[in-house]
Amino acid sequence: MMACTRAFRATVAVAAGVVIASTAGAPSIRAADDVHYGPDTVDIAAHWAARATLANAVMFSGLGEPLSISMSTADDILKHAGYIARPPMPDMATVGAVYAAGSPALKQTPDFSDLQTLRWGPASFDRTLEPAAQAWALIKITSPAFHLNFHDDKADRRVALMMLPQARAQAEVLAERLLTGPGLFAARSSDGTFAEPRAHDQAVVLWGVSNLILAATSEREDYWHTAWRELVDAGDYRELSDRALAAVEQLPPNTPRDQALAIEALGRYALATNDAQRREKALTLARRHANALTQVRNVSLSDAALAVYGLVEAGRLLRDDGFAKAAATAFETGLLPKWDDRLGAFRTDEPVSYTPSITAAVVAALNAMRWHGSGDLAKEANRLYPGFLETVLVDARLQLASPLPLVPARYREGWPDTAFAHPALPTPEKAGLAPVFAGEVVHENGTWRVSDRRFRTADAMFLANMLVMPHEGQADTFLPANRLESLDR
């Protein structure tokens, strides 16, 4: 599904502590307890964990409403992928709108050459349509660096571009089925009943729709952006993005966690909109939430972590060094004191527990310092990040199974499998589970256990979006530097 680019091969030349002298005669996998993620390899493993999560959620599991792709759309996709003759289309359980949750137990022994064997049992599905689940899936699908790391051949490009109609379907569900009469986005059960709107959902929807517009208006001349410009009319989604902005204003975030996500969403809207007045409103709201984050003290792990992320992004968006300094202070005094070397993770309330959402918050903070921090704090974030992911994803088993079977054999030639997935993770065949994130893991009496095996789409896709790998100095979690440079402030 993904071809190893030259940059990728350079990165995995030292993979999980295994030094590779040449592409021939690669060493065998070391024992699981002998392999550890490092600063130069952890992003690769994170990328594959994220890719496996998205692929299962929107293509393999059937966890959502089946998507029908017209022949004309399929032909457009194939043309942009580089095909002349129409090849057989893969037999996948492709969905548009995604459901809220489901059991990731595989219905049968998986055969990764037969994608029909990767389906989950539909009786386990919670068919509620949540705004955040649609939005986080939409965000991952429309993130450019996610697609450009590996898509070097026609088959890779076809799979990437098949997600284009999925993104349109998710935006359509948000606009037509999850927008309430008062103008707020809310979850909707299978019987059509709306839940109480949440501030969190308004912010994430704004991020998602803005991302869709940014993908469709990029000036980059590669197959992916060219296809989006030609096949997606950004104008079709500007009204929805304006409604999402109004929803964020109408139901403003009131926790550090949601304020941080709102800053990112408002920044993306400011980059995407053509309306100068609304752009100014978005920037004003972003500054208001950033000012609130500078006052955060004695909060939960998620709030402390996302405050770091939000302040870093506010500093970049608003060109305000004061927010960058506040982010460094929040990291040093609000987050680092929660680190426990013996645990290999940050401590939460007792008992220590991690969900994909909590993990995503920590990942966002550490990456913010790794890529946009400076000095000793950046070094400390780089030191902590590999061990943290190894503890939570591998030791605690938040990642239920290895994504290695999703890496085609031809791309693994010459490299140890540890470059793609930790060997301590069980195979999907052995686990009987898809390679996705559990709902929760808990540390009690000196050991980790999976306390909730259920796949919860919004939380899992939130983590998948935070687990990114940089491409040409860009990372999808953060506002694109080239767009920020052109923002008139």
Per the CB < 8 A criterion, the answer to whether 212 and 231 are in contact is no
How far is the C-alpha of 36 from the C-alpha of 257, rounded, in Å?
30
Please determine, for residue 486, whether its predicted confidence score (pLDDT) is greater than 70. Answer: yes
Per the CB < 8 A criterion, the answer to whether 313 and 263 are in contact is yes
How far is the C-alpha of 203 from the C-alpha of 250, rounded, in Å?
11
Please determine, for residue 246, whether its predicted confidence score (pLDDT) is greater than 90. Answer: yes
SS3 readout for 304-336: HHHHHHHHHHHHHHHCCHHHHHHHHHHHHHHHH
Give residue-wise pLDDT tens across range 169-210.
999 999 999 999 999 999 999 999 999 999 999 999 999 999
Tokens 């990728």 found at:
8
Q: Give the pLDDT score at 471.
A: 81
Per the CB < 8 A criterion, the answer to whether 311 and 262 are in contact is no
Query: Rounded to 10 degrees, what is the CA torsion of 470, 473, 479, 481?
Result: -170
Q: Give the pLDDT score at 489.
A: 63
Give residue-wise pLDDT tens across range 353-381.
999 999 999 999 999 999 999 899 999 99
Of 104 and 27, the structure prediction assigns the larger pLDDT to: 104
Q: Structure pTM?
A: 0.92
Please determine, for residue 233, whether its predicted confidence score (pLDDT) is greater than 60. Answer: yes
Please determine, for residue 92, whether its predicted confidence score (pLDDT) is greater than 90. Answer: no
